[in-house]
């Protein structure tokens, strides 16, 4: 870093410095510096979206492997759930709605992307026994449909209560499996249109389920992207105009921030990554970071023109570049390292990829700011002859810094008290996740989920997957009894509403074929296989596909939990894992935990286990780089202080606003580390570089650096406030938290860096005395 930083500044070609060479042929510099962007523009065309929440969990996690196996074997993982809701209290088993459900169940299969096995009362059969010899009978028959007959049959099938018909009897659900729940936008749209077209008047149609939620998030990504970029551009333009004073001066910075964003997003396509939910914030993040370099260089150029009007524009730009090139390179490297900390420390692919491409964007911003930007700003940002009097802003900033330098102990104590309060709040932050938090209150998908939760068993599912070890192994009395025992233990868990299992169906068949007591199981070992053969002789063998596999080796027990909240379900999933382990050890059948809640539990635990490591890696990378580039452990320690204040304020803000540590919010601290160190490096470097005037505590050029830092922080905060306009609460928090950390880092830098430097110098003077 030193070689780049200081030796690089002095490097010459003959008598010419590298700055002279860049400025000698500005248009050639512009051309060469912009040319590589075309490669990244090509990368933009390769970007693919992945809006699934599961993208955060590693593919080799056992819960994911079990979930994927369940999807492959039983086929209805992460479906679209369509709810046809009558007015509360009105029976949904009426002729118009049953006709609509029958038509929907039939027609929805024709939609491209819908997988076989749509489940509804129209596709299911009741297990019955009657004079005609039936073992099964369709629930909805006749034309016109006989609602009373349907009601009787539905009442005889407890497994359908709460899953296909509301406990309250006033809503029906259809479960529509899809080929790819992560890319189901078109399918969801067509399913919604079909359901709305068929629903009788007065019946509300609601869509939920994981595929619907993923689709909704994809819509949000698209909506946010449409809003974020123009809004960020306007905000950045206003800040640039405020900082640089000339409308023409903001053109080149604009191209720099756009170029950095193109490199970041284009890198995703070039490295075959994916555009995840959190990636929506990436262009704005990179743009907000990139604008700081432009402000620093342009303000330095304008200062040189003001202080040395006798110099040519190119000479003034050369000097400005000599002043800020080192800090720009250093801050670019340290910020990029902060992002790389995410790439190294996070086990979550979206977070790691975010770190990697944001690092690329940050470095691109640094390179463009030292090549393209000066070549253009030398013509467009000139403010020769502008007033030299200090602005009100400079006076406030200088007053703050001077007060800190004059009374460093007091400044440190006051700030320390403030930080202690922040720490007290920060310690209350907790790891938690709830799927509903991804949507704003009132979002249609959330309303549908609430209906599912209130009137049905809900959409928070957790499964046990049973492997009997051989094909046909499930169809024995012994295996069915073991499954039944598992079901009872599963259902007894606190937080579980209901559990459905294949053993219920065998019990119903046994009861209705032999007149046995309700709930009893067959004792003859071959009875389950024979019952199934009898059922297949008259019904559809696929009726049980969502519970048992084709080979009759595996079965799934599905539990519905009262809530989707990670913190509430963590003990539940652990107890279930314990039940599974005991059952495997005691009975010889293999039992695994799977399902949505287990997957969520898996990646939240991975996040909790890795969070300290991720943040630690980011801070350590930034610190080591700062020490190396400043060639001083002492200065490195001082420069890292704003990082710590920014991070502390960020966690405090999380506690104050009740924001949980979840995948998207967990990466904020690492990003804040990369951003906060910029102020530390610029100010520490300015304090070190420029000689002080007699009687002055601070160097002459310190004002300009403080002003540049203030504009950088404000543009960062404003940029992230743009992210906070997102239609997704998680991204709102993300924007809010980074904005908080930017302000925290700035305050820490403006107050503590002069104070700590002054304290050190006093100590040094005492030591000399």
Residues forming the site for another protein (CB under 8 A)? 72, 116, 132-135, 471-472, 475-476, 513-514, 522, 524-531, 533-534, 536-538, 540-541, 549-552
Of 761, 667, 602, nearest to 65 by C-alpha is 602
CA distance 63 to 596: 9
CB of 513 to another protein, least distance (A): 6
Nearer to another protein among residue 349 and residue 529 (C-beta): 529
Nearer to another protein among residue 438 and residue 544 (C-beta): 544
CB of 177 to another protein, least distance (A): 13
Nearer to another protein among residue 72 and residue 494 (C-beta): 72
Of 388, 238, 390, 376, nearest to 298 by C-alpha is 376
CB of 457 to another protein, least distance (A): 28
* Residue 196 phi, psi (nearest 5): -70, -35
Of 300, 325, 408, nearest to 641 by C-alpha is 408
Report which secondary-structure segment, H or E, holds 80.
strand 80-85
Nearer to another protein among residue 180 and residue 525 (C-beta): 525
CA distance 219 to 189: 11
Q: Output the CA torsion 83→87→90→92 (10° steps).
A: -20
CB of 159 to another protein, least distance (A): 21
CB of 150 to another protein, least distance (A): 19
CA distance 139 to 135: 13
Specify whether the CB–CB gap between 466 and 589 falls below 8 A. Answer: yes
* Residue 57 phi, psi (nearest 5): -105, 140
CB of 140 to another protein, least distance (A): 17
Of 739, 720, 728, nearest to 221 by C-alpha is 728
Instruction: Read off the DSSP letter of residue 692.
Output: P
Nearer to another protein among residue 180 and residue 471 (C-beta): 471
CA distance 283 to 265: 7
For residue 321, the Cα-to-chain-centroid distance in whole angstroms is 38
CB of 52 to another protein, least distance (A): 23
CB of 569 to another protein, least distance (A): 31
Nearer to another protein among residue 105 and residue 212 (C-beta): 105
In the 3-class helix/strand/coil scheme, how is 34-63 assigned residue by residue? HCCHHHHHHHHCCCEECCCHHHHCCCCCHH
Which tokens belong to 568?
């509430």
Nearer to another protein among residue 114 and residue 411 (C-beta): 114
Nearer to another protein among residue 379 and residue 550 (C-beta): 550
Specify whether the CB–CB gap between 488 and 558 falls below 8 A. Answer: no
Nearer to another protein among residue 531 and residue 720 (C-beta): 531
Specify whether the CB–CB gap between 260 and 361 falls below 8 A. Answer: yes
Which tokens belong to 725?
């306009």
CB of 79 to another protein, least distance (A): 17
Nearer to another protein among residue 124 and residue 489 (C-beta): 124
Nearer to another protein among residue 357 and residue 508 (C-beta): 508
* Antiparallel, parallel or unpaired: β 125-127 and 136-138: antiparallel
* Angle between helices 185-198 and 95-108 in degrees, nearest 10: 150
CA distance 718 to 197: 44
CB of 527 to another protein, least distance (A): 4
Nearer to another protein among residue 143 and residue 272 (C-beta): 143
Instruction: Using alpha carbons, list the distances in angstroms from residue 99 to 44, 94, 145, 208, 346.
Output: 48, 9, 7, 22, 51
Nearer to another protein among residue 122 and residue 710 (C-beta): 122
Specify whether the CB–CB gap between 762 and 408 falls below 8 A. Answer: yes
CB of 549 to another protein, least distance (A): 8
Nearer to another protein among residue 25 and residue 537 (C-beta): 537
CA distance 164 to 51: 28
Nearer to another protein among residue 107 and residue 434 (C-beta): 107
CB of 654 to another protein, least distance (A): 46
Report which secondary-structure segment, H or E, holds 207.
strand 204-208
Q: Which residues lie below 8 Å from residue 452, measured CB to CB, with a gap of 6+?
A: 81, 83, 173, 206, 208, 458, 459
- Residue count (the chain): 769
Nearer to another protein among residue 394 and residue 536 (C-beta): 536
CB of 155 to another protein, least distance (A): 22
Instruction: Using alpha carbons, list the distances in angstroms from residue 645 to 201, 416, 677, 711.
Output: 58, 10, 10, 18
Which tokens belong to 132?
């005609």
Q: Scanning the structure block, which residue is given the tokens 């930007």?
A: 373
> What is the DSSP annotation of 618-670?
HHHHHHHHHHHHHT-HHHHHHHHHHHHHHHHHHHHHHHHHT--B-HHHHTHHH
Nearer to another protein among residue 73 and residue 163 (C-beta): 73
Specify whether the CB–CB gap between 192 and 148 falls below 8 A. Answer: no
CB of 526 to another protein, least distance (A): 5
Specify whether the CB–CB gap between 639 and 680 falls below 8 A. Answer: yes
CB of 550 to another protein, least distance (A): 4
Instruction: Using alpha carbons, list the distances in angstroms from residue 493 to 331, 463, 465.
Output: 53, 13, 17
Which tokens belong to 98?
């049953």
Q: Which residues lie below 8 Å from residue 370, measured CB to CB, with a gap of 6+?
A: 22, 297, 321, 325, 328, 329
Nearer to another protein among residue 445 and residue 532 (C-beta): 532
Specify whether the CB–CB gap between 557 and 466 falls below 8 A. Answer: yes
CB of 505 to another protein, least distance (A): 16
CB of 516 to another protein, least distance (A): 10
CB of 129 to another protein, least distance (A): 9
């Amino acid at each position: 870093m030193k070689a780049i930083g200081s030796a690089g500044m002095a490097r010459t070609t003959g008598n010419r410095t590298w700055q002279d060479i860049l400025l000698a042929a500005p248009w050639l510099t512009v051309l060469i510096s912009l040319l590589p962007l075309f490669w990244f523009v090509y990368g933009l065309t390769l970007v693919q979206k992945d809006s699934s929440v599961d993208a955060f969990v590693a593919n080799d996690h056992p819960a994911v492997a079990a979930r994927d196996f369940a999807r492959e074997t039983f086929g209805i993982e992460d479906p679209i759930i369509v709810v046809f809701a009558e007015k509360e209290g009105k029976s949904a088993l009426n002729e118009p709605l049953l006709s609509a459900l029958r038509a929907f169940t039939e027609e929805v299969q024709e939609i491209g992307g819908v997988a076989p096995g749509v489940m509804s009362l129209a596709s299911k059969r009741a297990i019955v026994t009657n004079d005609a010899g039936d073992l099964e009978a369709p629930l909805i028959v006749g034309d016109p449909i006989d609602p009373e007959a349907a009601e009787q049959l539905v009442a005889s099938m407890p497994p359908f209560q709460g899953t296909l018909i509301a406990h309250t009897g006033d809503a029906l659900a259809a479960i529509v499996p899809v080929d790819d729940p992560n890319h189901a936008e078109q399918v969801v749209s067509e399913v919604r249109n079909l359901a709305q077209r068929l629903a009788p008047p007065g019946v509300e149609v609601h869509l939920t389920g994981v595929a619907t939620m993923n689709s909704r998030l994809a819509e949000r990504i698209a909506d946010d992207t449409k809003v974020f970029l123009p809004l960020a551009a306007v905000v950045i333009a206003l800040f640039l105009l405020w900082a640089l004073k000339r409308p023409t001066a903001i053109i080149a910075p604009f191209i720099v921030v756009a170029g950095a964003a193109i490199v970041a997003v284009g890198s995703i396509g070039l490295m075959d990554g994916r555009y995840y939910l959190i990636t929506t914030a990436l262009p704005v993040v990179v743009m907000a970071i990139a604008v700081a370099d432009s402000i620093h260089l342009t303000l330095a150029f304008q200062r040189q023109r003001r202080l040395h009007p006798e110099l040519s524009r190119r000479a003034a730009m050369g000097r400005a570049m000599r002043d800020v090139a080192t800090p720009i390179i250093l801050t670019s490297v340290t910020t990029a390292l902060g992002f790389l900390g995410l790439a190294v420390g996070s086990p979550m692919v979206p977070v790691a990829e975010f770190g990697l491409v944001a690092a690329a964007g940050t470095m691109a911003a640094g390179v463009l700011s030292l090549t393209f930007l000066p070549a253009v700003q030398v013509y467009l940002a000139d403010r020769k002859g502008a007033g030299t009097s200090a602005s009100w802003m400079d006076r406030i900033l200088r007053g703050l810094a001077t007060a800190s330098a004059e009374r460093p102990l007091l400044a440190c104590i006051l700030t320390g008290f403030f930080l202690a309060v922040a720490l007290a709040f920060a310690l209350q932050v907790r790891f938690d996740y709830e799927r509903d938090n991804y949507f704003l209150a009132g979002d249609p998908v959330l309303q549908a989920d609430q209906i599912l939760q209130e009137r049905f068993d809900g959409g928070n599912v957790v499964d046990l997957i049973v492997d009997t070890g051989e094909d046909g192994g499930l169809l024995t009395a012994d295996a069915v009894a073991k499954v039944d025992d598992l079901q009872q233990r599963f259902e007894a868990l606190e937080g579980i509403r209901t559990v459905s299992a294949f053993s219920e169906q065998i019990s119903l068949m046994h009861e209705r074929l032999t007149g046995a007591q309700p709930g009893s199981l067959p004792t003859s070992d071959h009875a389950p296989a024979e019952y199934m053969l009898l059922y297949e002789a008259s019904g559809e063998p696929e009726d049980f596909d969502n519970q048992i596999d084709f080979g009759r080796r595996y079965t799934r027990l599905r539990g519905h939990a009262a809530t989707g909240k990670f913190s509430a379900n963590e003990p539940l999933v652990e107890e279930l894992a314990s039940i599974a382990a005991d059952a495997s050890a005691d009975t010889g059948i293999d039992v695994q935990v799977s399902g949505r809640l287990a997957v969520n539990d898996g990646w939240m635990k991975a996040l909790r286990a890795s969070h300290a490591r991720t943040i630690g890696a980011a801070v350590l990378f930034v610190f080591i780089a700062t020490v190396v580039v400043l060639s001083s452990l002492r200065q490195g320690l001082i420069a890292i202080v704003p990082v710590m204040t920014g991070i502390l304020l960020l966690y405090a803000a999380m506690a104050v606003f009740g924001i949980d540590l979840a995948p998207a919010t967990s990466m904020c601290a690492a990003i804040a580390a990369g951003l906060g160190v910029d102020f530390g490096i610029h100010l520490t470097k300015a304090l070190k570089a420029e000689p002080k005037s007699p009687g002055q505590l601070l160097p002459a050029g310190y004002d300009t650096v403080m002003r540049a830092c203030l504009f950088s922080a404000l543009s960062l905060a404003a940029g992230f406030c743009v992210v906070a306009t997102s239609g997704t609460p998680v991204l709102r928090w993300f924007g809010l938290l980074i904005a908080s950390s930017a302000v925290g880092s700035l305050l820490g830098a403006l107050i503590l860096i002069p104070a700590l430097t002054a304290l050190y110098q006093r100590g040094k003077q005492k030591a000399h005395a």
